[in-house]
Amino acid sequence: MPSTAQIQSPAEVVTAKPASKKNTLLLLVSALGYFVDVYDMMLFTVVRKKSLLSLGIPDSDTLSLGLRLLNFQTAGLLIGGVFWGILGDKRGRLTVLFGSIIIYSTANVLNGLVHSLWQFEALRLIAGFGLAGELGAGITMVMETMNKKTRTLGATLVASVGLLGAIVAGYVGQAYDWRVSFIIGGVMGFLLLLLRVGVFESGMYNNIKNKDVDKGNFFKLFTSFSRFGRYGKAILVGLPSYFVLGLLLTIAPEYAKELGITDKINTGYVMMYCFVGFCTGDTLCGLISQYFKSRKFVFYLFNALSLVAILVFFYLPPANIAGFYTRYVLVGLGIGYFAMLVTNASEQFGTNYRATVAITVPNFIRGALIPIAFAFEALKGSLGLVNAAAFIGVLTIVIALVANVFTKETFDKSLDYTE
């Protein structure tokens, strides 16, 4: 049973005051960190084809090798998620924020200098490892620093600003050489380090830092039915997100051809339109959650929107290229609850496990792209490109809805306790 503190902690005293410079800087750094995170994550989708062609890969192999590179990046996210999550609870949230940015910024700069496929694979793995800590650590610090009545708005701000990184990636990936685009991402990350110098550790974490409590024990998430249930449901609720961000975005040109679009698809535009919907959805999700004082309600609402958007995408063929881009706005809107599900995950656990959970959950959701891509490859031969993807997309939504039924509401929950 959690041992909830009986007196007001220093963290709660701080957050009871009006927004301070400390909180403002934390929100800014977390939002810009997520911005750079999303920029890098989505940039590869934009430059996938032209980067591989420039390395001498035949056009016929760019799809399969693109998915392979995406899997390397995803593997890095999975490994990094566990590493940074444990480190965030054992050594502090700030350690993760600094360490992750240094690694993925370096990997991005080097990614702009590659001349062979194996170098590309290695650096996508390393970049994924570095990126894994960013969002969860930032959201954890925001949740632990802000007042429980308004922390939803803090997470909403982080998500709304952060997701603009994909729109910028769409523009930069089209306007500049792919090598320059990766280097720009790395430079942005290094510049962000200058802002992070002024950020302080979470007060809630400092309260337990030197106490004799078990911190960041990842494997103990699987030894208790209660912990395992909360953890698993937090992951399953987000499955539709990386069906869209992984499968629908990565091979947009192939879908356009199957859906009867004869014009050449601009992958940067696909990215930008999808994330216009995604960013709008994340903002609305936070505001709706704040209004109804519920996490579960927005999960139901946005999963329902995702279901409608996916069916429209595949089975209501667009009349022209504008209609195709509009469908990406709709599927992006439907998954606009990603930051909220990380917020929900962080609220499900005590301070000694919070970073581990908040950092690993989004990366395990991202990691779900591996079985999603595998299932797609297995089914597309018999069902076809459209039906295989539609089947997988609907299945992820059904799983998410069932998981949400059994998820506990956490909107107004106090977070100052240990497991």
pLDDT of residue 373: 85
Ordered alpha helix ranges (H), 348-409:
351-367, 369-405
User: CA-to-CA distance for 305 and 311, rounded, in angstroms?
Assistant: 10
**pLDDT score of 84 more than 70:** yes
User: CA-to-CA distance for 65 and 57, rounded, in angstroms?
Assistant: 9
**pLDDT score of 5 more than 50:** no
User: CA-to-CA distance for 115 and 112, rounded, in angstroms?
Assistant: 9
pLDDT of residue 90: 94
Q: Residue 390: pLDDT band by 50, 70, 90 thresholds?
A: very high
* CATH at 153: 1.20.1250.20
pLDDT of residue 253: 87
**pLDDT score of 381 more than 70:** yes
Residue 216 belongs to a domain: no
pLDDT of residue 1: 42
Supply the angle between the helices 21-54 and 178-196 in degrees, to the nearest 10. Answer: 160
pLDDT tens per residue across span 177-215: 999 999 999 999 999 888 877 788 888 999 998 888 999
User: CA-to-CA distance for 334 and 254, rounded, in angstroms?
Assistant: 22
Instruction: Give kind and range of the element (H or E) at residue 111.
Output: helix 93-111
Find, among 197, 165, 283, 149, the residue nearest to 25 by Cα: 197
Name which residue leads in pLDDT, 20 or 408.
408
User: CA-to-CA distance for 418 and 216, rounded, in angstroms?
Assistant: 11
**pLDDT score of 295 more than 80:** yes
Residue 11 belongs to a domain: no
pLDDT of residue 23: 81
User: CA-to-CA distance for 294 and 281, rounded, in angstroms?
Assistant: 16
Coil, strand, or helix at residue 154?
helix
In terms of residue numbers, what domain contains 308? 22-209+223-411
Residue 42 belongs to a domain: yes
User: What average pLDDT does the chain have?
Assistant: 89
**pLDDT score of 17 more than 80:** no
User: CA-to-CA distance for 384 and 388, rounded, in angstroms?
Assistant: 6
Strands (E) located in 177-236: none
Residue 50 belongs to a domain: yes
Residue 301 belongs to a domain: yes
pLDDT tens per residue across span 296-339: 999 999 999 999 999 999 999 898 999 999 999 999 999 999 88
Coil, strand, or helix at residue 317?
coil
Name which residue leads in pLDDT, 404 or 1.
404
Residue 14 belongs to a domain: no
Q: Give the count of beta carbons closer than 10 Å to the beta carbon of residue 388.
A: 19
291-295, 356-360, 370-374 — which is least confidently predicted?
A: 370-374
Please state the rounded mean pLDDT for residues 233-250.
91
Number of domains in the chain: 1
User: CA-to-CA distance for 238 and 332, rounded, in angstroms?
Assistant: 13
Residue 106 belongs to a domain: yes
pLDDT of residue 330: 96
**pLDDT score of 272 more than 60:** yes
Residue 263 belongs to a domain: yes
pLDDT tens per residue across span 100-153: 989 999 999 999 999 999 999 999 999 999 999 988 999 999 999 888 888 888
